[in-house]
């Protein structure tokens, strides 16, 4: 199993509001941010720290700090941008790369329209963020594109995943661990996640 699911009553509570059709844009954005922050804590559990000595008001101590320069966040446009503030809450100095993909409405295949990564991307650990993992096509294409650029350490953070999307990533990229808030039941005939939360991009940007 290559996925980690946040099983926590407070996450179920937050997801209930996130999924609700009556939740407005402002609250939707705030919830995406909040859940993303928690996902990053889990995704960073194996982070390597650099040894450092600090002085508390009482004494010196050996401890560790994170070299934030080793990390990049890559949101999949558009909806992935909604997760950026949540990640930056905990890794404020991470560099940000962007990939623009949209799903062809008939084939559900991702179409790339933008790609811009920070310098030295291949030497960074990359956190790919997108609230929805449906067929898995967009996330898989993003990971393949990053690997083409030489990136070797990639994690995928999403809020709602479908079993099919998880299977796609596990088959295409068995080296990539998925961190998600929930795994939903299935996809409908339009490749939307059920019960899901609808179109994440539209709900983050208020475009519908
Ligand atoms: C959504 C979502 C993912 C993708 C997931 O984006 O944000 O990127 O669909 O579906 P998949 O797993 O089947 O590829 P969408 O294409 O709707 O674009 P948007 O974020 O610009 O609205
Ligand atoms: N993209 C979304 O925004 N929602 C889904 O349910 C599937 C793909």
* Global ipTM: 0.97
CA distances for 15 relative to 156, 180, 184, 205, angstroms? 19, 12, 11, 18
Cβ of 199 closer than 6 Å to ligand 2, yes or no, is yes
CA distance 151 to 119: 12
The CA distance from 182 to 159, in Å, is 6
**For the chain, what are the domain ranges?**
3-47+67-205
* Residue to substitute in 191, 195, 205 for testing ligand 2 pocket (most ligand atoms within 8 angstroms of CB): 191
- By annotation, the residues acting in catalysis are 103, 107, 199, 202
- Helix, strand, or coil here: 175? coil
What is the dotted CATH code of the domain comprising 3-47+67-205? 3.40.50.2020
Q: Which helix (H) or strand (E) holds 81?
A: none
Q: Measured from the CB, is residue 86 less than 6 Å from ligand 1?
A: no
pLDDT of residue 172: 98
Ligand 1 center from residue 134 Cα (angstroms): 8
pLDDT tens readout for residues 80-134: 999 999 999 999 999 999 999 988 888 888 999 999 999 999 999 999 999 999 9
**Which residue's CA is the nearest one to ligand 2's atom 3?**
199
Ligand 1 centroid, distance to 200 Cα (angstroms): 8
Distance (Å, whole) CA 159 – CA 183 = 9
Closest ligand relative to 131 C-alpha: 1
In this prediction the pTM is 0.96
Question: In this structure, which ligand is nearest to the CA of 200?
Answer: 2
Q: Which residues of the chain fall below pLDDT 70?
A: none
Q: What is the pLDDT of residue 191?
A: 94
Interval between CA 104 and ligand 1 midpoint (Å): 10
91: left (phi over 0), alpha (psi -120 to 50) or beta: beta
pLDDT recorded at residue 182: 98
């Amino acid at each position: 199993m290559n996925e980690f699911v946040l099983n926590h009553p407070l996450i179920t509570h937050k997801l209930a509001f996130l999924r609700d059709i009556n939740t407005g844009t402002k609250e939707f954005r705030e919830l995406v941010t909040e859940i993303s922050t928690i996902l990053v804590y889990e995704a960073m559990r194996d982070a390597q720290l650099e040894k450092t000595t600090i002085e508390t008001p009482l004494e010196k101590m050996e401890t560790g700090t994170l070299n934030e320069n080793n990390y990049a966040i890559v949101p999949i446009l558009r909806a992935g941008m909604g997760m950026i503030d949540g990640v930056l809450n905990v890794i404020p100095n991470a560099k940000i790369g962007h990939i623009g993909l949209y799903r062809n409405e008939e084939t559900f295949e991702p179409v790339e329209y933008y790609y811009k990564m920070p310098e030295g991307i291949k030497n960074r650990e990359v956190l790919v963020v997108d609230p929805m993992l449906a067929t898995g096509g967009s996330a898989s294409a993003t990971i393949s594109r990053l690997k083409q650029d030489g990136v070797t350490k990639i994690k995928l953070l999403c809020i709602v995943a479908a079993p099919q999307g998880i299977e796609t990533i596990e088959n295409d990229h068995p080296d990539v661990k998925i961190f998600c808030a929930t795994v939903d039941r299935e996809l409908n005939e339009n490749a939307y996640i059920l019960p899901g939360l609808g179109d994440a991009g539209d709900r983050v940007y208020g475009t519908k």
